[in-house]
Amino acid sequence: MRIARFLSFILLLASCSKDAHIVEHPEWKQSFAQYGIDSACFIFSDHSHERVHLYNRTRCTERFLPASTFKTFITLAALETGAARDETTVIPWDGVHRRPEWDKEMNLREALLVSNEPFFQVLAQRVGRQNMQHFLDTVKYGNQKMGPRADSFWLDGSLKISADEQVGFIRKLYFDELPFLVRSQSMTRAMLLREDSNNNRWYYKTGLGRTNRGTDIYWIVGYLEHVRSVKEPEKSMNKTGVRNYPYFFAMNFERPASDSSQDWSAIRLKLLHELMNQFGATHDE
């Protein structure tokens, strides 16, 4: 029932501009404009109130290469097939110097944290082309295309996905509704935790890739879980006195590939916090 309801939101997002469940925020343009960003979108689903909030509806439904946000999917596929046993699975460093944070032996959790590209290329090869295509088709992830190379199709423009599809994917992961074992999904979620403070837990994966327009696209995809203490009714099935309020989000924006005037990766994260704070989702005190 929950799946069908959310899918209806996504369909409405693409086809109905005045639906009460979809709230557009043209004022969020100013948040991007303050950094000189004019090609951007942001969408999040407020699960508790069954609302989808967004900026730039057209771009939210446009598909782009997922870049390193796809490493969440690779992690799921690797755990599902046994290509990775768990978060402690190690892939040795091949000795090639690329980036200081990548140039060492590390395990899956560490590799996901620093977005180690060579690590996940090896992991994707271990999953295998046939298995990966099966999972893409079963999940219905974006356009489901792998292209000629099984170790870089999430970077070369073969595979593409929209921001609203990213939100649908991460929401299903949260509720164990993807066609993977619950074990695979719960382990993957745990590895996505990046921030935990003030009763707000931020789970996300970033991505950076080069589009066919010659621009760089910056992604951030994940969810915010606000944890609140509540006094439950006496007959409530929840005896913990704690409730989790999830918000699922996806943002992307483009910059000229030659633009190094600012730390766009840091700005991406700053924008996420600014927009969620404007909405009040973080309940910061």
Q: Rounded to whole angstroms, how far apart are CA atoms 181 and 159? A: 24
- The closest alpha carbon to 281, from 227, 238, 241, 232, belongs to 227
pLDDT bracket for residue 232 (50, 70, 90): low
Point out the catalytic residue in the list 31, 45, 68, 184.
68
pLDDT bracket for residue 4 (50, 70, 90): very low
Per-residue model confidence as pLDDT tens digits over 58-73: 999 999 999 999 999 9
Half-sphere exposure of 277 (CA within 13 A, CB side): 10
pLDDT of residue 258: 87
**The residue to which tokens 């892939």 are assigned:** 91
Task: Name residues whose C-beta falls within 8 Å of residue 233's C-beta, 6 or more positions apart in sequence.
Answer: none
pLDDT of residue 240: 59
Cα distances from 123 to residues 62, 192, 203, 272, in angstroms, run 28, 17, 22, 29
pLDDT of residue 6: 45
pLDDT of residue 198: 81
Largest CA distance in the chain: 61
**The residue to which tokens 């590895």 are assigned:** 191
Per-residue model confidence as pLDDT tens digits over 161-218: 999 999 999 999 999 999 999 999 999 999 999 999 888 999 999 999 999 999 999 9
Q: Rounded to whole angstroms, how far apart are CA atoms 251 and 208? A: 12
On the question of pLDDT at 284 being above 50, the answer is: no
On the question of pLDDT at 15 being above 80, the answer is: no
On the question of pLDDT at 235 being above 60, the answer is: no
Q: Rounded to whole angstroms, how far apart are CA atoms 189 and 144? A: 22
43 or 19, which is more confident: 43
Phi, psi angle pair for 199, to nearest 5°: 65, 15
Portion of the chain with pLDDT greater than 70, in percent: 86
On the question of pLDDT at 114 being above 70, the answer is: yes
pLDDT bracket for residue 241 (50, 70, 90): low
Confirm whether 68 is a catalytic residue.
Answer: yes
Fold of 1-56+197-285: Beta-Lactamase (3.30.450)
- Which structure tokens are listed for 268? 């991406």
pLDDT of residue 91: 97
pLDDT of residue 229: 64
- Which structure tokens are listed for 80? 């599902």
Torsion angle, alpha carbons of 184, 124, 3, 269, to 10: 90
Domain boundaries of the chain, sorted by first residue: 1-56+197-285
- Which structure tokens are listed for 103? 């140039």
